[in-house]
Every structure is written in structure tokens, then in C-alpha cells.
Amino acid sequence: MAPSIRLSPAARSLFDEPLAIAVQGLGPRQRVTLRTSLRDETGELFQASAHYQAGDDGELDLARCPALPGGSFSGLEPMGLLWALQPQKPFWRLVKRDVQSPFLLQLDVFEGHGERHGRLLAQAQHERAFLRDGVRRIPVREGRIRATLFLPPGEDTFPGIIDIHGLGGGLFEPRASLLANHGFATLALAYYQFEDLPQEPKELHLEYFEEAVNYMLQHPQVKGPGVGLLGFSKGGEVSLAMAAFLKNIKAVASLNAPVAATCIPFSYKDKIIPTVTLYEHKAKATNSKFLDYSDVIDDPFQAPGNQSRIPLEKAEARFLFMVGQDDRVVKSEYYATEVCKLLQAQGKESFQILSYPGTGHCIDPPFFPLYHTGSHPVFHKRAVLGGELRAYSRAQVHAWSQIQAFFKKYL
């Protein structure tokens, strides 16, 4: 019997879902190399490979067989061939622009463990999708709002979440689309550099974000009386500012966010939160010749930086701070710890910190490749963003389940 690859689900799975991989029809104890490949929407190639040995019966099940040393990873890692994908082009990040089309994953099985791949024994293709059947993607152009709403299947009402991305502008849909598969009405909200929104905003007006909150609460399929916010980096900072100044925000999950205004000041009605000072000269060179910018932001808990600190003690929301202990862009663990001390001093217990070792600035949904070194979001120079492959893959899975549990509980 010729070797073949068995996948479950067979042809298509959601990007954040586990994929069971097995090879059958090999010789007893046969040594093989498995390789996964995926091209992004620009055609850039991501690959991972691992060395295995089949069992006495010629079966190789990645849930039971550890990878041997010499590939992208070793040990018992059923999803290693997905989380270890790395770009062939240095410093490239896997981004999904069009969530209506899946990524195509190619799996190849080669003979032996050599430097050069041996004979090709089997191959298979599998779609990694962002939308479950029945999830609706609805472009939103209401008033000033520029966004995309993702609604789960059916006519029910669903907990409502606004998803806000970090610096870089544009409209970012992958996280919101994946959340909708799990039963949340999720609004991916753009706030600059998209269509007719400002290219280089002088201020971020919280009234714009308030309009998005009101849009969600007036939607017949969004379950009130409040909404949740999910924000990454600058988007987390925006979410914290919304919670401090706006009504009807029940729960905020913040991923590696500053707790002070950075780069762009906030304004609401007649109040302005000025930006904290950045000291570019405090960037440190690392032994990999890339810069570590983790010390460049003035400490918002020391005067004069504290005029820039977001007054979270005014907020009524529940907070989930998710921080990478190896975040080299924002001192996110320090910020979360200090801001929670302030909340505690005010008699508030409405917060939780989840701190992830070996995890850098980017905390994406499960199975997105680690983006360890890339362009700094402010200084646009090559920078270390932080993180270590295996620890990060664990953090993604845990954080994603915790985000969903948090919003289910408080929305």
C-alpha cells in the first residue's frame, strides 16, 4: 500500500482549530521528513519541517509520535508543523487581508532525514479558513464608522465585541472573523489610514469610538446592555481609554497594551490626554544587531509622564490584561501590574492579569507564526519584538481560550 496522509478534518478547518495529521502505509520504523508549506496573499512562502520515525506497523500519528531532533522543532508536538511555520523571506509577517478566502496548506512526506529531501512519498493539501459556514461578513459604513461586522450563523442575539488593532492603520479582520465562529458578534474597527479616515491623525477622538459602541448596541443581533473590547498594542490602549471615558463598556481584553497615550493623543469632549514622551536614544542594540526598544517609553507612573496615563480608575468595566513577559516593544507586564495596583488601591477587584513567559509583543490567535523580529511600529527600524517559538505557540492557544471565556462570562 502506497504511503498516504490522513488529515482530520479532512479537507478544510478553521485557522484557529487543531488539525490531526497522520501518515499511513510507511515501512516498519521508516524514517521520514514531513514538511508543511503555505503561501500568503503576496506569494511569500512559509515552511516548517520535522523528522519522524514510523511505528512497527508503518503508521505515523503526530499525536503519538515525537519529532526527532534536526527539524523546525522536536518532541511530541501534534500541531508543530503549523505553529513552526516561518517565512523564507526574513522579517516577514503572515497577514490575512481577505478573510473570505482560506490559506492553502501543503503537506509533503519525504524519505529519510537528509539535508536534502529524499524521494517524495506522499502529499496532501488542506484549506485553513477564517469563516465557518453561515458566518456573515457585513461591511459597515454608517456615519463616520469604517468597519466590518461579523455575525455568527442564525437569528439569535450574540454578545458584541469591538476588535481594535494596533499601529499601522487600515482594517484588520482575521481576529474578528475567527471570534465570530465562536458565537460573538464582532466588529473589526478601522480608525486611521483606511478609505476616508485620517491618514495621519493629530488626535484620536473618542467620539468616533463611541459611535461604534452605539452602532453595536443598536444592532438587533447584538445582546446588550454593554459591549466588550478586544485590543492589541495601540488598539489595547484605545480600548482602555474607551473604558475610562465612555459608557456601556462591560469587559476589556487588552493584549500587550500601553496604559498611557502613545504617539497620538486622545481627546474626548473638552479633555485631552497628551502623549507620553518616547526617547529613541534609549533603544539598546542586541547581539543579533537588532534594536530593543522596550525602554524608550517614559514611565507613565512617574511624573511628568502620568498626565498621559489613562485614568482606568474611572472605568466600570472588567479588565483582562494579557502580557508577554518577553515583550520588547511595550513594558506590558510592568504596566499591567502597576495599573492593577492603582485599581486595587481604589478598592476595585475587577481585573485579571495573564502573563506569558517566552511571549513577545505579538499575541495572535492560535497557529499564526511567531513574528519575533520585524519593523518597529513607531520607529520603522528593524527591531526585536520578542518571543520564543514553542512558548509562544502555547500562549496563543491559552490566551485565545481565555479571551472567549472572559467575554462569555461578562457579556
3-state secondary structure of 348: coil
Q: Identify whether 233 is a catalytic site residue.
A: yes
- Active-site residue (options: 361, 364, 372, 393): 361
Buried b (16+ CB within 10 A) or exposed e, 388-410: ebbbbbebbbebbeebbebbeeb
> Of 233, 239, 294, 393, which one is the catalytic site residue?
233
Residues of each domain in the chain carrying CATH 2.60.40.2240: 4-129
Contact (Cβ atoms closer than 8 angstroms) between residue 361 and residue 375? no
* Average pLDDT of the chain to the nearest whole number: 96
Q: What is the pLDDT of residue 375?
A: 85
Q: Which of 327, 372, 376, 393 is catalytic?
A: 327
The pair phi, psi for residue 210, each rounded to 5°, is -65, -40
The CATH superfamily label for domain 4-129 reads Acyl-CoA thioester hydrolase/BAAT N-terminal domain (2.60.40.2240)
- Give the pLDDT confidence score for residue 205 in this predicted structure: 98
340-377: pLDDT as tens digits: 999 999 999 999 999 999 999 999 999 999 999 888 88
Classify residue 237 as exposed, middle or buried by CB count within 10 Å of its CB (0-12, 13-18, 19+): buried
- pLDDT given at position 50: 98
* Angle subtended by helix axes 206-218 and 234-245, to nearest 10: 80
User: Which architecture does CATH list for 136-410?
Assistant: 3-Layer(aba) Sandwich (3.40)
In whole angstroms, what is the distance from residue 241 CA to residue 291 CA? Answer: 29
Is residue 40 among the annotated active site residues? Answer: no
pTM for the full predicted model: 0.96
Band (pLDDT 50/70/90 cuts) for residue 287 is confident
361 is catalytic: yes
Terminal CA-to-CA distance of the chain, rounded, Å? 53
Domain limits, CATH 3.40.50.1820, in the chain: 136-410
CA distances from 278 to 13, 204, 376 (A): 43, 18, 13
Q: Given this model, what pLDDT does residue 303 score?
A: 76
